[in-house]
A and B are shown apart, each in its own frame.
Chain A
Amino acid sequence: QGCVDHPIVLTEAVCNPLYSRQMMSELLFECYQVPKVSYGVDSLYSFYHNRRQNWPCSGLVISSGYQCTHILPVLEGRLDAKNCKRINLGGCQAAVYLQRLLQLKYPGHFAAITLSRMEEILHEHSYIAEDYIEELQKWRSPEYYENNMHKMQLPFSNKLLGSTLTSEEKQERRQQQLRRLQELNARRREEKLQLDQERLDRLLYVQELLEDGQMDQFHKALVELNMDSAEELQSYINKLSLSVEQTKQKILQAEVNIEVDVVDSKPETPDLDPLGSEQSLEDVESINEFEPLFAEEQPEVEKPVTAVQPVFNLAEYHQLFLGTERIRAPEIVFQPSLIGEDQAGIAETMQYVLERYPKEQQAILVQNVFLTGGNTMYPGLKARVQKELLEMRPFQSSFQVHLASSPVLDAWYGARDWAVEYMTREEGWITRKDYEEKGGEYLKEHCASNVYVPIRLPKQAPRTTEALAPSRVLTSSTGNPCEQA
């Protein structure tokens, strides 16, 4: 057949870039041969669906989706686009934040804390606190914590022993390496001691030759040793005997060190240092490597009540305890500083948007605050928004907050309502002819659409001719082909 026969209603982002719209229109008109297309904003369709008797009406639409949150003032049914604001936080960021929090809290379950489980926790177990600071204070008390903490049971995995022992394993390995090095050093010292001893004996023997008066043999021996006089011989002997003494000392101390090391606690390491200064350079370097390791191990040795103990309660090991995380994750959309974002939260952005209007219009807008979008399904959101409005509006002024009847699906219902109503009318549809005359970025405004800014984009040059496979599928963002009912 090669074409799609029916008109299409499509949602797009608020203030969709012209390039994207051009690409989309091109795809629909050229490739799928659609007769006419209408673009709109999903939250405005949802607003349209939830309208009460008087349409067109005004209101402030707050739509929080998976990726971003929009605050859209609607005046007389038309979007007031230059005063819209978008916060780049949505359900996705909340899920990622929760995931990282839990992964840092339970590093052993790193792989088991997946995004889909996080989304489940957000959907089922999270709520938005009406007063964030007060809620947190409630969580301080142990009884409240015991009563309201949710335990998530993870599926059993056999890897638990491997993960708990890694820190212990590391300790073991470090100690083994230390011992090995020390043994090596001790062996080297002993060999050196032996060599030195032998040389010392030889020199002493030569000295005895001198004392005994056997001058010829003495001189011959001196020549063999490459020495010139008796004084040199004497000095060599002195030096050698000194170094032999030192080596013997070191060996003794090394034995003492090995015993002291394992039981040592941090305050005692300075005592070893004066002894350590006599050690050879190699020893000092190798021990210095291990000193920072020692520093890490000391607190664990001193405080035996750490997490290094093996866990016996397998069921509890596989549980995640959700306490304040239940309110922290959804809170990022009100306080983006939790996640490090510079933008203002919903409350402050609402205030900012409202202040761009004169007071009468503010009052009108605030009478009809509308919450929609998947990320608004937390229990407690409506109360929270009401409290924020109460704080920012003038004393004893009234406001009304409504939730969409079904925040996730309302956009579709709204688009269907619009399409059914405007099916035969001309306004709002971009026909094929319009597309060809005015380019892909053309948009016909209607009650739920973006505002059109008439800037022509240069038409992208099509690819020069090459016989390409006709069944090449274009990008995944184009979605599913339309179905005929």
Chain B
Amino acid sequence: QSVGGEAMNENKFLNTDSSTGSVETAVKPLPFKDPNFIHSGIGGAAAGKKNRTWKNLKQILASERALPWQLNDPSYFNIDAPPSFKPAKKYSDISGLPANYTDPQSKLRFSTIEEFAYIRMLPSDVVTGYLALRKATSIVS
């Protein structure tokens, strides 16, 4: 309780999707806040009282890209991992075992005959669910 001597640690991720605002309409002043503070993020050009123009991650990254970075500077988008160089191994959609075969009708992968029979009996929404899980749904149906 020494004045100014206590360090409180807060572990917090500054995840940059600060786009949700919760408006509290309490009347009593909060004990720690400066009562005259207006955050600069609030209000854009023609914003109303409740309109907070918090940027979401895409907007933040877009505006960050526009800044004058040097070639070797680290920044949030620079450190994304590169795509894989090795070809992906194929696993069965149903059981996860290594899959050697693909059903031509539904494009699901399977490894045994029983799985194939099971696949042929699936309703179409389950089939699209499995494909969407692998991000293999085709735009052209």
Contacts and interface: CB of A to CB of B under 8 A. Distances in A.
A479 B41 contact: no
Nearest to B131: A340
Interface size class of chain A, counting residues whose CB lies under 8 Å from the partner chain? 35 or more
Contact of B74 (A15, A140, A477): A15
A406 B55 CA distance: 35
Given A14-B79, A15-B78, A416-B9, A20 B22 contact: no
Interface in A1-37: 1-21, 23-24, 26-27, 30-33, 35
Interface in A290-328: 299-300, 303, 306-307, 323-325, 327-328
A415 interface: yes
Nearest to A451: B74
Contacts of A482: 8, 10, 32
User: Main secondary structure on chain B at its contact with chain A?
Assistant: loop
Contacts of A133: 89, 98
Contacts of B120: 299
Contacts of B134: 338-340
Interface size class of chain B, counting residues whose CB lies under 8 Å from the partner chain? 35 or more
A335 B84 CA distance: 9
Given A19-B63, A26-B39, A343-B82, A475 B54 contact: yes
Nearest to B27: A471
Nearest to B5: A6
Contacts of B25: 469, 471
Contact of A2 (B13, B35, B55, B79): B35
Contacts of B8: 6, 8-9, 482-485
Contacts of A252: none
Nearest to A419: B7
Contact of A11 (B7, B11, B75): B11
A280 interface: no
A447 to B, nearest CB: 16
A345 B83 CA distance: 9
B36 to A, nearest CB: 7
A476 B6 contact: no
B20 A476 contact: yes
Contact of A5 (B3, B9, B61): B3
Contacts of A112: none
A337 B84 contact: yes
Contacts of A21: 14
6 A-B pairs closest in CB distance: A340-B135, A337-B88, A81-B74, A324-B96, A463-B43, A344-B84
